Structure 1
């Protein structure tokens, strides 16, 4: 029996989402959500009786066609035409986990009763989520303006029996999967196609995915930097709390405290140092990692607000007797936040590669390129090249998408956020960061080997004992890409 998460008005947080995904929760509408959805749908049906009054997206065309009135007997066709015509995605397929997040976030947004959709529509989305029927969606096509129109159209196509889905690991036609469950295609009512397509769930799902992964990688970045600090035989005075109390940025203070905690009982850290100062990539870990933490805190708050919001258009306010065409679908809050997140994550990778560079430089009693018989063996020379290449790519990916805008929809949508591009490149930056950190722990583990018989802290030695079972100390040249891949898998499977 699957665990159930009830969709209601309580705040959906990242911990809850992670639990839903990791423990394979099923979704269900609460009585509260069902009541709100029904109330708004009934209100909208009544509102349509006034056929002389145009309501955007309900009995009118879309975008720059908003002044064209649509006959009542054509409203279902209008909504289905909208979904089909907007399914213009291309490029790489969106990862299944992100598609599943899109389903969850679209269900959450529609559950507040401000969208005018039917319970049947929301329930079909829930069925897709619970049965792991994941629409095929493409990365390219959204301007992040009237929401994520193209990707959300692809999310919606299977509801009406069109498009493709991934089910049980295979790509199938939506029609075939609906038949497998004896489900009839949804007949979209007025406003429902628009409610599905308007919204920021493509951007938001990428943001949530990135946040969940970032929580692990940010913690690992601190821990791996501590390994490198001991491996490079660094002076510990820069982490003294007195230094950070006089410049009390929250992230900086937390990072310095964590470094001291990780290296608390390290023999290497406690011994007398002849070096008065260390390179910035070691000495300024609290300042650099801390600044990224503070930036990420802002991003987390922005994304949390977004996923607990109504982002389609128009918005239905039953108690106030209003249907308002506004702009909550505009992705600017997400675009700026996701660009900022990419920059913050890129910097964690940037400083990581600099530590890797220092470790292979033949300084502080370490052999050139961290290998016996350098010359005969190239050792860790080229893993640093690889890290440098990835860091450079991240810098290119961090050019903000949100500073761009291209007029669309015949001038009606004259400012767009480009937040979807912010979202997709953020995920690439995140993947790159994981690879860079994997290379650093690979190097730092090797460097610490040359400090024996001195030991690092209990925490570090415990992690490295596990790591070396997967990635042993390199005695002579071997195919290093295999070891890097094992390091990436190790980071994927361990939280520290």
Structure 2
């Protein structure tokens, strides 16, 4: 049975629904109130979705504009013309339905490789609906009802994860759109109508969904990394002056202050707060700068969450349909530079956190720094200890990967996409995909640090009663999972520690 770690004021990352019925849960969208947390909660709870009355009215009014444009013959991009490099070709009114059907399938090219999870498909549909609820897309009420119905059914197609460069998630959204308009309900409603294909595919709904999922998980991960770091501070017998209130008071760094507060909470009751308990007058920077580095990353993560929340409640559709002026406006709102730039910073910050975790992992095994036997072996011999299990090498390999995935994606974009008309992209999906890979590796790195820190505490023979309250519970949960004293007799599986950390 996998042990579970205590929470200790773990950050709340699953937002509650507003206007939610308890059975079954329903997320009500108005185009402005969707958050990363509420989107993730809707995905995990497989919530139904509805629009507010005001949102339905806005959808109806925007549709009037599209129908006016098609009946009047006024040229409007993507409504009665081709798209991209074929924008200068008119589409006759009688051919609009056929044009929209073919446009979907032309963009839905299957891409060999990984597929999106059903949760991501569900999330992308919710993001699309929230954009439509703003009333500037011009889609029909019938299309909105089809999407709501598909969410209620809860059965989703296999969608390819490739083919998007951050100038709308064209390929995966086109595959979703093809599935939608091929449904019996869509066929019976005469879908797709003018502009509806463009509104379905001209969005970053997939990238935003993946980004929201990762940022929500990242809050849990960074909390776990701080808990592992606090355990390392106990195992190393650190000087806690580095996280004292006065040290964090004199520097205007809100994130640093919050992290130091949490570390003090984790270490509440520890003997390290007593005079003469710290082994060194000044510890290595990887211990001494935990609150500074983790705090800086927390600020970046919160900024990224704010940006993604704004994007979740924005419209990337082109053209924008305006009921007040009864006109359509060509634009570049699908550009993803803003959230790619924010996520690039997040990935670099996460790489920095894992980097100093790796330094602590090795300092705890390094007798010149730790004062413990090399590799935390019970005695000087050819076998035993953490290094005998090769955990340091595993951590180094994972940290290397995390650093590779931290490279900025914004500047890697290939310029030419479509005959010179589409000549830049933000690479948002690449940014969130690399963050996803980083987070997965970082959970294992945190589990390694927690294992080695716990091992260090055991090797020092420290009484659990003298440890910080959170660290005490960690040691009680993790120590039985470790092969202390029986190294090499059976193969050690890190997943048991990782699962205990993730499922706390």
Structure 2-normalised TM-score?
0.89
Q: Does the 8 A contact of 1:236 with 1:269 survive in 2?
A: yes
Q: Within 5 Å, which residues of 2 pair with 1:475-490?
A: 475-478=485-488, 482-490=492-500
Q: Does the 8 A contact of 1:255 with 1:290 survive in 2?
A: yes
Residue equivalent to 2:285: 280
Residue equivalent to 1:174: none
**Correspondence for 1:395 among 388, 392, 403:** 403
Q: For the residues of structure 1 that align with 2:215 and 2:190, how far apart are their CA atoms?
A: 33
C-alpha distance 185-374 of structure 1, shift in aligned 2 (>3 A): farther
Residue equivalent to 1:256: 260
- Greater CA drift, 313-322 or 446-455: 446-455
Q: For the residues of structure 2 that align with 1:373 and 1:191, how far apart are their CA atoms?
A: 74
**Correspondence for 1:450 among 453, 456, 459:** 459
CA deviation after TM superposition for structure 1 residue 217, in Å: 0.6
CA deviation after TM superposition for structure 1 residue 227, in Å: 0.6
1:207 aligned onto 2:211: yes
CA deviation after TM superposition for structure 1 residue 491, in Å: 2.3
Deviations 1:353-391 (A, max 9, x none): 111111122343323222324533243221111111111
Deviations 1:389-429 (A, max 9, x none): 11111111111111123211100011221222112111111
CA deviation after TM superposition for structure 1 residue 10, in Å: 4.2
CA deviation after TM superposition for structure 1 residue 464, in Å: 3.0
CA deviation after TM superposition for structure 1 residue 125, in Å: 1.8
1:364 aligned onto 2:370: yes
Residue equivalent to 2:476: 465
Q: For the residues of structure 1 that align with 2:157 and 2:339, how far apart are their CA atoms?
A: 23
Q: Does the 8 A contact of 1:268 with 1:454 survive in 2?
A: no
Q: Secondary structure at the match of 1:328?
A: coil
Residue equivalent to 1:170: none
Q: For the residues of structure 1 that align with 2:322 and 2:469, how far apart are their CA atoms?
A: 59
Q: Does the 8 A contact of 1:143 with 1:416 survive in 2?
A: yes
Q: For the residues of structure 1 that align with 2:490 and 2:433, how far apart are their CA atoms?
A: 29
For structure 2, the residue ranges without an aligned partner over 5 or more in a row are 1-22
Q: Secondary structure at the match of 1:75?
A: helix
C-alpha distance 440-479 of structure 1, shift in aligned 2 (>3 A): farther
Deviations 1:175-204 (A, max 9, x none): xxx57x998586200100000110111221
Q: Does the 8 A contact of 1:267 with 1:454 survive in 2?
A: no
Deviations 1:194-223 (A, max 9, x none): 001101112211210111101101111111
Q: Secondary structure at the match of 2:410?
A: coil
CA deviation after TM superposition for structure 1 residue 269, in Å: 4.5
Q: Secondary structure at the match of 1:12?
A: coil
1:379 aligned onto 2:385: yes
1:70 aligned onto 2:91: yes
C-alpha distance 329-230 of structure 1, shift in aligned 2 (>3 A): same
Q: How many residues align?
A: 474
- Greater CA drift, 124-133 or 25-34: 124-133
C-alpha distance 235-118 of structure 1, shift in aligned 2 (>3 A): same
Q: For the residues of structure 2 that align with 1:479 and 1:142, how far apart are their CA atoms?
A: 48
Q: Does the 8 A contact of 1:377 with 1:476 survive in 2?
A: no
**Correspondence for 2:79 among 35, 41, 58:** 58
Kindly report the root-mean-square deviation, in angstroms, between the aligned alpha carbons of the 2 structures: 2.1
Residue equivalent to 2:123: 101
CA deviation after TM superposition for structure 1 residue 319, in Å: 1.5
Q: For the residues of structure 2 that align with 1:206 and 1:33, how far apart are their CA atoms?
A: 25
Q: Does the 8 A contact of 2:113 with 2:162 survive in 1?
A: yes
1:246 aligned onto 2:250: yes
**Correspondence for 2:300 among 295, 308, 316:** 295
Q: For the residues of structure 2 that align with 1:95 and 1:182, how far apart are their CA atoms?
A: 24
**Correspondence for 2:151 among 129, 143, 146:** 129
Residue equivalent to 1:148: 169
CA deviation after TM superposition for structure 1 residue 9, in Å: 3.8
Q: For the residues of structure 1 that align with 2:147 and 2:500, how far apart are their CA atoms?
A: 35
CA deviation after TM superposition for structure 1 residue 322, in Å: 2.3
Residue equivalent to 1:222: 226
C-alpha distance 436-481 of structure 1, shift in aligned 2 (>3 A): farther
CA deviation after TM superposition for structure 1 residue 467, in Å: 3.2
C-alpha distance 45-282 of structure 1, shift in aligned 2 (>3 A): same
Q: For the residues of structure 1 that align with 2:448 and 2:385, how far apart are their CA atoms?
A: 13
Q: Does the 8 A contact of 1:449 with 1:473 survive in 2?
A: no
